[in-house]
Amino acid sequence: MFLPRISLLTWILALALVSCGDSSRPKAPQLHVAEVVAGAGDVAPEVVERVRQIVATELVQLQEVFGGKKIERFFVHVHESRESMPEQLVAGVHEDAPGFAVLGRHQIHLIWGQMASTGSRPRGVVRHELVHELLDQYVGQHGNRMPRWFHEGFAQLLAGNTYLDAREDDLVWRVGTGSLPRLRSLAESFPTQTTKLRTAYALSYSYVAWLSREYGVSLLLRVARFTDDITSFGQALVGQTGKDSLQLETGWQNYVLYGSGAPWRVLLGSWFSLLMILVLPVLVLALIRRLSAEQRAARHLSARARSDKARAQEAVERRAELLRLAAENDFEEREDLDRLEQDGEQR
């Protein structure tokens, strides 16, 4: 009786392990949940079909990243151009944005004309916006607690490209001078000015990518899942990594300066400007010498002109003096002649 009981217990444990393994394994992709439709403007059917194929392909890979979590139905609207869209829909969206997701509403809006004009790759744009939608569904009712910088950084990381051509190279000088915006200032919204917006996207991508390399994507998803109305994202990140926010940000900044290779890329990319800076003192000295030589030449010409004028004036005065003397001599000679004539007549 003892052995059969042990065998039965073994089979029960084995079935439990198998069932647990099945529950943790990603489920089959839910391709039917993404409804791709034509939006505003005259959108060609082949464009909608192309987007539908991209969504189906990328959704398979991204669902695995999010652990096969069940996805609620959402819509992908493909619009012809920004001008054809309702004004209230694009209000607050950057003018160069090729797409955006309306969080909490299960909507993704793609602007096909904007992709063509900015040279954005449709696959990268679609994947970026899908990450926004899936992350919002992943955290559920606490989606509004996700920092904007994490949303944008995570979307850029999983999409494999950056928005507005944001690069870590743009952060080097700001990190070195301490002029980077703080992460907490990017939690609710991003700036609208293009240069500052590019910096915000570059910072978000670089920081999230560094966290992913240091701790893994699964940890970042745990941090997102543990964020709620009581525990902020920052607190959950500290709890999962065992480091406070200052240590994390300092570690990331050290990576940007010393581990990313960005400073060398900046130097190589700016070699002509740096060369001009080095040559500038030589050019300034040459210019000063040139100006000094021209000033000396001008002074010499001016002195020579004054000298020539003085000599000419002296010649005029000498000639006048000679004429005066000649006139006086002629007058005296005439007086002598007149006197001699008078003496002759008297005799």
Predicted confidence pLDDT, tens digits, the chain (347 residues): 333 333 434 433 444 433 444 444 445 566 688 999 999 999 999 999 999 999 999 999 999 999 988 899 999 999 999 999 999 999 989 988 999 999 999 999 999 999 988 888 999 999 999 999 999 999 999 999 999 999 999 999 999 888 877 788 778 888 878 888 999 999 999 998 988 999 999 999 999 999 999 999 999 999 999 999 999 999 999 999 999 999 999 999 999 888 766 444 444 444 445 455 665 676 667 767 776 776 777 788 777 878 777 888 887 888 887 887 777 776 666 666 666 666 665 55
Instruction: Give CA–CA dist 110/201, Å, rounded.
Output: 19
CB 233 within 8 A of CB 188: no
The tokens of 332 are what? 């005296």
> No. of H helices and E strands in the chain?
13, 4
The pLDDT assigned to 335 comes to 65
Which string of DSSP letters, residue by residue, matches 268-300?
HHTHHHHHHHHHHHHHHHHHHHHHHHHHHHHHH
Using alpha carbons, select from 109, 123, 46, 41 the residue that is nearest to residue 81. 41
C-alpha dist (Å) from residue 46 to 32, 66, 282: 19, 30, 61
The pLDDT assigned to 82 comes to 94
CB 183 within 8 A of CB 147: yes
CB 82 within 8 A of CB 42: no
The pLDDT assigned to 321 comes to 79
C-alpha dist (Å) from residue 121 to 24, 45, 56, 60, 116: 34, 19, 16, 19, 8
C-alpha dist (Å) from residue 235 to 118, 220, 294: 38, 12, 69
The tokens of 141 are what? 């009712």
